Amino acid sequence: MKYYLIAGEASGDLHGSNLIKEIKKEDPDADIRCWGGDLMSEAGATLVKHYRDLAFMGFVEVIKNLPTILRNIRFCKQDIEAWQPDVLVLIDYPGFNLRIAEWAHAKRFKVVYYISPQVWAWKENRVKKMKQCIDKMLCILPFEKDYYKNKWNWDVEYVGHPLVEVVGKKLTDGSKQLTEDKTASQTSKIIALLPGSRKQEIAKKLPIMLSVAAHFPAYTFVVAKAPGLEDDFYTPFLNTSNNITSVRNQTYDLLLKSTAALVTSGTATLETALFGVPEVVCYKGNNLSYQIAKRLINIKYISLVNLIMDKEVVKELIQDELTKDNLVKELRLILDNDDHRKKIIDDYRSLKNILSEGGNASVQSARHIIKVASQIN
């Protein structure tokens, strides 16, 4: 059968590659065409367009690149129609993929959506249209199944979270030697800093995150650099204390060796939890944008760890609360209070169990996709 997959970001490329491997196990004759990245290509799909040509973040950047985005959407529709897949698999990336889903439904293509848009947080009105044009929704967060059923009377599938298998594989394989940008104390304990991937957010948060380094001279603070940002961008931040260093493309190896972590909100909070590293979640943005977002987004917590557990497992320091004094206080709790540290790690175990309940996300999703592809219209 013919499968057409669309991922528009690095995380989608990773999860898409694991999905492709499982589809090929279940359907050895699978012919797979995709929008994604190197990992999906290496897994055996024919790559139509790389996600690096699709990643436009922020309102201004999207407006500026609108002709390119619209051209990509037109080309994508033409390519799907010319290839005539048995099923279209959309992986996250809702701004692009929901447009494709609506068009594909009208053209009578079967549509499976893997990794639901976070409509429970904002833009709930999209669900009505999603329910009409998506044949099967595959969710990776446990509360999404009840959300769709109870609020929208839509039966969706919870397949488990793909990061469980990704992190699990790394834990099994073990860590490699970190290649630091400058030599720090090789014997000192490590605190990981995951400040995000975009210049604007890093510039706002990283100086505050690093300001605590002088208070913990027995620890080495290691910054995980974003793949797309040059070393020179980080240099001014890293030269503020002798116990600060950095690594590139080694985030999982870093987490394997870390005693604690300071993490920007997002998927990284969940990855850190799955590695069992107690963390403080850090968020600080443009004040106007934050005030607007606060009124639009309807959630109790900003970290996936706390959202999934529906309680404060890890401390969130948001906006004005993200200060050096507060970070020092929370980090001391993690490092010096054994009961506090044990409670976080115990909650992490519960979190991993919840995320594993759906099974292996790639295996379960591949089976659902093949079943939809096999159905006769």
Quick: pLDDT tens for 67-90: 677 788 999 999 999 999 999 999
Please state the domain count of the chain.
2
Distance between CA atoms of 29 and 2, rounded to whole angstroms? 9
SS3 string of 101-126?
Answer: HHHHHHCCCCEEEECCCCCCCCCCCH
Residues 143, 202 within the same domain: no
Handedness of CA 192, 348, 169, 186 (dihedral sign): positive
Helices H / strands E in the chain, number of each: 17, 13
Distance between CA atoms of 139 and 4, rounded to whole angstroms? 19
Q: Helix, strand or coil for residue 280?
A: strand
Residues 136, 188 within the same domain: no
Question: Which pLDDT value is given to residue 72?
Answer: 85
Residues 262, 148 within the same domain: no
Residues 214, 351 within the same domain: yes
Residues 107, 248 within the same domain: no
Distance between CA atoms of 301 and 63, rounded to whole angstroms? 30
With both helix axes pointing from N to C terminus, report the angle between 231-238 and 199-210 in degrees, rounded to the nearest 10: 20
Residues 7, 156 within the same domain: yes
Distance between CA atoms of 14 and 57, rounded to whole angstroms? 19
CA distances from 85 to 30, 32, 77, 79 (A): 11, 9, 12, 10
Instruction: Give the residues of the chain that fall short of pLDDT 50.
Output: 58-60, 183-185
Residue 159 in tokens: 């397949």
- Say if residues 160 and 359 touch (Cβ distance below 8 Å): yes
Question: Which pLDDT value is given to residue 287?
Answer: 59
Distance between CA atoms of 2 and 183, rounded to whole angstroms? 51
Residues 329, 362 within the same domain: no
User: What CATH number is given to the structural domain containing 182?
Assistant: 3.40.50.2000
Residues 229, 335 within the same domain: yes
Residues 91, 237 within the same domain: no
Residue range(s) defining the domain that contains residue 297: 169-356
Residues 184, 277 within the same domain: yes
Q: Which of 166, 318, 177, 336 is nearest to 257 (CA)?
A: 177
Question: Which pLDDT value is given to residue 301?
Answer: 86
Residues 20, 152 within the same domain: yes
Distance between CA atoms of 252 and 219, rounded to whole angstroms? 19
Q: Helix, strand or coil for residue 179?
A: coil
Residues 81, 196 within the same domain: no
| Residue 171: Cβ within 10 Å count | 15
